[in-house]
Amino acid sequence: MATSRSTFLIFLSVLVMALAYQTAVFFQLEPGPVDDAYILHRYAQNLAVHGRLVWNLDGPPAAGATGWLQTVLYAAGLRVGIEPAGLGVALGLASQLLSLGLLWTCAWQARGPARWVGLAAFLLAATAPFQFPHLVSGLETPLFGLLGLIGLVLFRQVLTHRRPAHWAMLIGVLLLAAATRPEGMLLGLLMLGTAWTARRLPAWAAAAWVFGLAAYLAWHLASFGSLLPASVTVRAGQGTAGMQAGLDFFGLYLLLPAAAWGLLSSLRFQSPRSAGGLAGLCGMGLVLAGSLVSLGMRQEMNFSGRYFAPFYPLFLLSFIYMTPPRRPVHWAGPAALLAVLQLVLQLGGLSGTLQELRTGQAVLAQAHRPAALALADRLPAGAWVAAVRDPGLVCSLLIEHPCLDLSGLNDPTLAAGATPGETLDHLFSHAPAGMVVTSYDPERLTPGPSLAGLPGDPRLANYVLLGVFGPGGRTAYYQFVYLRADLAGEAGP
């Protein structure tokens, strides 16, 4: 009894310290969504006000959001007077706390060595620096991570007890995950596939998931003309930066915990026939599959490991499930040393992560917002506005105007692929009343490769430069704001 009481006090102390750490870091965060979240805000506002889940009220539909559950929640909040910015923080914080609470509970309920593996996993999850910017980002990352954790916990339950109620809850969670991010389909496919190979998959559960997913994909195809969001295609094949960032993420957050667990268990784990072994292997498979999909598409890691962050808690939870509850512990000292080293690396990485968030929000406050406000009172009603790079805040502030997203994320024509010349023709075919063009040089316009010909394009002479906005600094970029010359009342340069 004394051992049990002392163990509980250790777990409770670690929980209190983790919550205190989370609270201290949360109050260091700069409030405000990131630019991609403002993309969701524009969709949500059109849904709440006009009843249509669209980027522009007129023109072809665009699937610019990574997933739609968070957007629908934002629209529901708007209908009852809750702004998306505040709701995004509430969702992020609630998802984070529930995820940590679930991981702590799984650690406490484990037995033998698995319990101490669980405590280490909880500590690593609570101190992972990349999680904190997502608490205020307004993106779907924390919510998707929570749904993945709940799904894996329920998956072990259905393998152990096979109760219909647990299966029904699991299918519901998997469908919500699929509506949150495309990788949610992988969760369902791998979990149900694992249960099927173990001959523990009820036919009705498989049918419910298949029909539910088919209905969602049919709606997506009918609404947007595609089965997957534009981010899957627009960000594909844009060099090796995304792949390198993914490999860096692996090196920082996956190798040391895996090595520590390998030493501790001497590379032995629960039998694949057991519920814990199957759940653990499935969790590892989810992490591998989700990571390979993102690496293969070379997705831009534009914000704190956004595409990998939700899989980190799944990775850690899998260790708990795969650790044998009664097998003797091996190499406890070296394993603990590696775990402590990982903890130190994570704590040391916090300042850089917070600086990333502050830099991004400074760009929004000093470049994007003033650029949009410079055009707000000068655009005729219903006139087009064009935005280059991170159009979320600009187009969200100019919600009354159709917005041409030249990144292609919210434009089906550009999302399908276009040459720089075709992109310029597409831009000027809309005769936008205003343009917000990104440049890394405040003295002259230097847009990215897709608009490299814009500075020398004669059609730009029909526009007047209103101003250049940006925070400065070596890594910052600037927003050049143009107004069509006939609206400025003077000839172009």
Q: Is the pLDDT of residue 318 over 80?
A: yes
Q: How far apart are CA 427 and CA 211, in angstroms?
A: 40
**Nearest by Cα to 226 from 72, 408, 421:** 408
pLDDT for the residue 296: 62
Least confident residue range of 73-87, 122-136, 245-259, 436-450: 245-259
Share above pLDDT 70 across residues of the chain, in percent, rounded to a whole number = 92
Q: Is the pLDDT of residue 208 over 80?
A: yes
Tell me the average pLDDT of the chain: 88
In this prediction, residue 300 has a pLDDT band, given cuts at 50, 70 and 90, of low
Q: Is the pLDDT of residue 114 over 80?
A: yes
Question: What are the distances in angstroms from CA 374 to CA 39, 170, 441, 468?
Answer: 20, 49, 20, 10
E strand or H helix at 131: helix 131-137
What does the DSSP assignment read for 32-86?
S--HHHHHHHHHHHHHHHHS---SSSSSS----SS-SHHHHHHHHHHHTT--HHH
Beta strand 463-469 with 478-484 is antiparallel
**pLDDT for 286-299, tens place per residue?**
888 877 776 665 55
Name the token pair of 33: 């969504």
Least confident residue range of 9-13, 259-263, 452-456: 259-263
**Virtual CA dihedral for 251, 257, 262, 263, nearest 10 degrees?**
110
- Of the ranges 45-54, 273-282, 305-314, which is most confident? 45-54
Question: What are the distances in angstroms from CA 8 to CA 11, 118, 119, 176?
Answer: 5, 13, 11, 34
Q: Is the pLDDT of residue 217 over 80?
A: yes
Q: How far apart are CA 195 and CA 189, in angstroms?
A: 10
pLDDT for the residue 233: 66
User: For the chain, how many residues are written?
Assistant: 493
Angle between helices 141-161 and 275-296 (to 10 degrees): 150
**pLDDT for 353-383, tens place per residue?**
888 888 888 889 999 999 999 999 999 999 9
Least confident residue range of 109-118, 184-193, 241-250, 252-261: 241-250
pLDDT for the residue 473: 64
In this prediction, residue 194 has a pLDDT band, given cuts at 50, 70 and 90, of very high
pTM equals 0.93
Q: Is the pLDDT of residue 238 over 70?
A: no
